[in-house]
Structure 1
């Protein structure tokens, strides 16, 4: 079973590598094409693709990296590096989108005619290349692979839009369509990136993952028989998928060994629902004082 799983990860990583090189070489073609055809819509899509290439590259590299086992320097393993990749990529895309908007918005007022035939050829290529990458990556099970597939699918849609606009421009001279499409694509990218950026940032700063209800967990723990109070309860996420939980539970001083065991079992049952990958529970007896508080007092 373990062997099969490992093979699956290799497959995932290979597909990401393929999608990365495909995307990067195409991005270069696209930037040149956008400049030659004088189409700001193609340039904004090139930016989108460049962002995707960076995230595919980082994702691919980190996918291989994050599967490494924990070390003495990184006791939680390398999962957090994929969050770092998401963060860097978001910043790149936000900066790029703002730059494209400063180029595209003035063009709404002074539209220039792009080369429609060139646009059409690039758009057909775009649909094929990104379509191939989506086909390669679909079915990936990590957050990383899912986000990438979604990115590439958006690219395909972006190219379909460029395709339609270029066909219209071949028959009708409506130069404003090009910057309009560009602003549309860019605003859409920005909107999605900012939502993801916010989520990534919260996880990066060790915020509680949105699907975990802290109050609910604390209340349930306090309802356990023989539990007097809890403190130092923490929940954080390693990479958006694997979460960690730790808490100190104070039990009544006259509780038996069996009683303590029952408390632990009850805690396990409550926490199980959340699928934490790291759990630490410290049991303390009433009047014993907390190990952390003691440490502070002696400083």
Structure 2
């Protein structure tokens, strides 16, 4: 017994691809501008952010490619389709962002001892531009709910917050010679972002390891299935996720002894309607008679 829920998920994935494409384009253009700006203002903070943005661009490009790949139909090699590739994208991006954040910390911490004074007016202009560009890209991605988009959104939010820090610091530096503010703020923001990235990475790893996406839902479905007349027990009950959004379920249902063929038909309809609300990408339900040996049981 199988069920599919394709057109809606296909549409979602295409939208995600467009949003990620937008973010990629904006990021690449801005990274180039940033390298030039960092060189002109002689600001190592902006240069460091440019390198970070370059890493973001690579990550977003990877995510975009993987997201497009995840739209492809299933085939003999990938019988569930390519949805899982976007999960791989989320994992790569989480790792790149973690490495990038650690690098920013390694750059910022030594500056606490020897802070440097940059060219402030150029910093103000670049920071306003940075907030606008990254803010717009983050806004585009916030419309999506795929794990990939959530991780990428943190990339862009990290950049927005970084530019807010640069803006505040450059305004303060116009009036007070306190260059130490720059590393202090960048360390604070980076730690905040790392906390959220680790949370997303944990979720991605759990899905990779085929952990049950929602344990509460698992017990609800168990109750729903056992509530069907003629179902006495269930086993080999598994739910896993293809990409954090689309889930798959398999179960073996043990039937009462006196189930006729007519009963079987209505039972299948009841099972279908009890599972419908969970919107699974794919379900497999095996019916076993009471005295039947389960073929998957190990002797």
TM superposition score category, shorter chain reference: 0.7 to 0.9
Q: Secondary structure at the match of 2:296?
A: helix
User: Any gaps of 5 or more consecutive residues in structure 2?
Assistant: 1-5
After the TM superposition, which of the residue ranges 138-147 and 218-227 deviates more from structure 2? 138-147
User: Aligned partners of 2:214 and 2:47: how far apart in 1?
Assistant: 36
Equivalent residues of 1:41, 1:181 under 8 A apart: no
C-alpha change, 1:106 and 1:135, in structure 2 (3 Å) is: closer
User: Aligned partners of 1:13 and 1:264: how far apart in 2?
Assistant: 37
Which of 103, 110, 134 is the equivalent residue of 1:106? 110
After the TM superposition, which of the residue ranges 123-132 and 67-76 deviates more from structure 2? 123-132
After the TM superposition, which of the residue ranges 189-198 and 125-134 deviates more from structure 2? 125-134
Are 2:90 and 1:86 aligned?
Answer: yes
The aligned residue for residue 66 of structure 1 is 70
Are 2:153 and 1:152 aligned?
Answer: no
Which of 120, 126, 129 is the equivalent residue of 1:125? 129
Q: Secondary structure at the match of 1:292?
A: coil
Equivalent residues of 1:66, 1:82 under 8 A apart: yes
User: Aligned partners of 2:133 and 2:69: how far apart in 1?
Assistant: 27
Task: For residue 229 of structure 1, report the CA deviation from its aligned partner.
Answer: 1.4
Equivalent residues of 2:212, 2:239 under 8 A apart: yes
C-alpha change, 1:287 and 1:153, in structure 2 (3 Å) is: same
After the TM superposition, which of the residue ranges 42-51 and 112-121 deviates more from structure 2? 42-51
The aligned residue for residue 244 of structure 1 is 248
After the TM superposition, which of the residue ranges 46-55 and 284-293 deviates more from structure 2? 46-55
The aligned residue for residue 217 of structure 1 is 221
Are 2:259 and 1:255 aligned?
Answer: yes
The aligned residue for residue 268 of structure 1 is 272
User: Any gaps of 5 or more consecutive residues in structure 1?
Assistant: none
C-alpha change, 1:7 and 1:279, in structure 2 (3 Å) is: closer
The aligned residue for residue 202 of structure 2 is 198
Equivalent residues of 1:55, 1:86 under 8 A apart: no
User: Aligned partners of 2:25 and 2:204: how far apart in 1?
Assistant: 26
The aligned residue for residue 52 of structure 1 is 56
Which of 179, 188, 198 is the equivalent residue of 1:184? 188
User: Aligned partners of 1:118 and 1:159: how far apart in 2?
Assistant: 13
The aligned residue for residue 27 of structure 2 is 23
Output the TM-score relative to the length of structure 1: 0.85
Aligned CA RMSD, in angstroms, stands at 3.0
